[in-house]
Amino acid sequence: MSLDLLQLIQRHQGEQLALLSQYINPQMAKVLKMIGFDPVYVRGQGAHLWDNQGNDYLDMLSGFGVFAVGRSHPKVKDAIRQYLDLDSPNLVKMGTQLLAGLLARKLIDEFSPPGLDTVFFCNSGAEAVDGALKFAHAFTQRGKFLYCEHGFHGLTLATLAINGLKEFRGDYEAILDGATQVPFGNLARLEAELARGDVAALVVEPVIGHGVFTPPDDFLPRARELCTRYGTLLIADEVQTGLGRTGKLFACEHWNVVPDIMTLSKSLSGGYCPIGAILYPRKVYERVFSSLDRCMVHSTTFGLNDLAAVCGLATLEVIREEGLVENSARMGTYLLERLKSLAEKYELIREVRGRGLMVAIEFGQPRSVTLKAGWKMIHGVNQDLFCQSILMPLIMDHHILAQVAVHGKDIIKLIPPLVLDRNDADRFIEAFDRVLAAAHRFPGPIWDLGSHFVKAALR
């Protein structure tokens, strides 16, 4: 008897939060409920989600960046359907895989920067970065890694060691070793570390995701030169920025930098299937997989799986056919322009910044006495409450989903699907305008929300 998926979903629709709470992550369930991020979504398409009441939500979060081509893209869906009917010889393991080979060729021949001619496929962003660290060690025979402040590369133990965010590292600090943090953009510190001659790799997000921090224009080009001079590999973590997010195919292109190793993940499979990829040069491959008996010295069971490859092949075609890199640049510029005019109107906005459709709105302490009092009250209890008080009316009243960019800073981040159109952007701006207008009234609903949080936090 087949699994009646539709019936299963219909029978249990609405139980999402209870299931999360009982079997997966009770704390997460509490938080989602508390901040109103618990609608029962029943459908997703393009840059939109719909809940069980028929409300249309604008998704400015895109599953942390995986839905670059939009949710439920027809071309990706169609490719998956075709694949399922083939009864393809997937994951033979001691054998070969056509589809993964074709995806590797497409990535290298049509997308990769020059010199990166080999691919290792895995299942996530962290796994890609983790593998890149191993490869850099094998190539350089050095044991030390450099990473940037605020940098995020995943939450496995190795990627935690190069994580520039205290909130993730805190509990594990005693067992994280062999990596040193440099301030993002600080070339003097970088050179001082590299000059010791013991650094295997500098791992860097060209635009840092947690906060949307862009380096000074000379940072990456000079970092490239310094890495070459001191025999260190430059690993560009493009897990989030890759494949169009910042308005270029790869964010490194903003500075004409070619890394030694590049990691990809999130948007590569259209959001349907876990995938990660390390793009690297043959000279590095030869040091890792250095003999016949080392041909599987780095490997993962699901790495070459057909479904991820099918999704990847279709997704890469969509990115090209629909001009999504160009749309990301165009819509990003439009969003930033409109946000900048809001920044002139609202004293709570300190800065808006970003590249392509990776945009940050940073808030800062207002000048007006009354607003300042509200600001201080909320921040006295928790650094994240202010942004949450903005995001709550955004989702509850305007049905727009977005996120706090980083713990402890007043930054909201937008990483919508790259198919975002002008209507979507206008809808966001109009809603954001209304929420900000309310936030500039003290007392007012936003600050009431804040004090509601304050009370909950104190409890």
Ligand X SMILES: Cc1ncc(COP(=O)(O)O)c(C=O)c1O
Query: By the criterion CB under 6 A, which residues form the site for ligand X?
Result: 64, 124-126, 129, 152-154, 205, 209, 237, 239-240, 265
C-alpha dist (Å) from residue 85 to 1, 82, 88, 132: 19, 6, 8, 35
Q: Which of 64, 70, 20 is nearest to 44 (CA)?
A: 70
| Least Cβ distance, residue 405 to ligand X (angstroms) | 11
Q: Which of 407, 414, 351, 379 is nearest to 164 (CA)?
A: 407
Rounded to 5 degrees, what angle do the CA atoms 446, 449, 452 make?
A: 155
Task: Please compute, for residue 400, the number of CA atoms within 13 A of its CA located in the half-sphere on the CB side.
Answer: 26
Residue 20 gets which letter from DSSP? Answer: I
Task: Quote the CA–CA distance of 417 and 67 in Å, as a whole number.
Answer: 6
We find the least distance from the C-beta atom of residue 263 to ligand X, in angstroms, to be 7
Residue 132 structure tokens = 């890149």
Phi and psi (nearest 5°) for 144? -110, 145
Least distance (Å) between residue 161 CB and ligand X? 13
- Cβ nearer to ligand X, comparing 239 with 319: 239
Q: Which is nearer to ligand X, 219 or 375 (CB)?
A: 219
The angle that helices 219-229 and 187-194 make with each other, rounded to 10 degrees, is 10
Instruction: Note whether 351 and 343 are within 8 A (CB).
Output: yes
* 450/441 Cα distance (integer angstroms): 13
CB 409 to ligand X: min, Å: 16
- Give the residue nearest to ligand X (CB): 125
For 65: left if phi > 0, alpha if psi spans -120 to 50, otherwise beta; the answer is left
Nearer to ligand X, 206 or 366 (CB): 206
Shortest distance in whole angstroms from residue 358 CB to ligand X: 10
Shortest approach of ligand X to residue 453 CB, angstroms? 25
Closest separation between CB of residue 155 and ligand X, Å? 7
Instruction: Write the Ramachandran bin of 455: left for phi over 0, alpha for psi from -120 to 50, otherwise beta.
Output: alpha
Q: Which is nearer to ligand X, 69 or 132 (CB)?
A: 132
Q: For ligand X, which is the closer residue by CB, 265 or 269? A: 265
* Minimum gap (Å) between residue 259 Cβ and ligand X: 13
Looking at the Cβ atoms of 203 and 419, the one nearer to ligand X is: 203
Q: Which is nearer to ligand X, 275 or 449 (CB)?
A: 275
Residues 6+ apart with CB under 8 A from 59: 44, 47, 48, 49, 67, 71, 401, 416, 417
Give the nearest distance from C-beta 68 to ligand X in angstroms: 13
State how far the Cα of 331 lies from the Cα of 338, in Å rounded to an integer.
Answer: 11
Q: Give Cα separations from 376 to 70, 94, 211, 403, 444 (angstroms).
A: 39, 62, 21, 22, 15
Quickly count: other Cβ atoms within 10 Å of residue 370's Cβ.
14
Of 313 and 405, nearer to ligand X (C-beta) is 405
Cβ-based nearer residue to ligand X, 206 or 450:
206
Report the nearest approach of ligand X to the CB of residue 209 (Å): 4
Our CB check for ligand X shows the closer of 44 and 274 to be 274
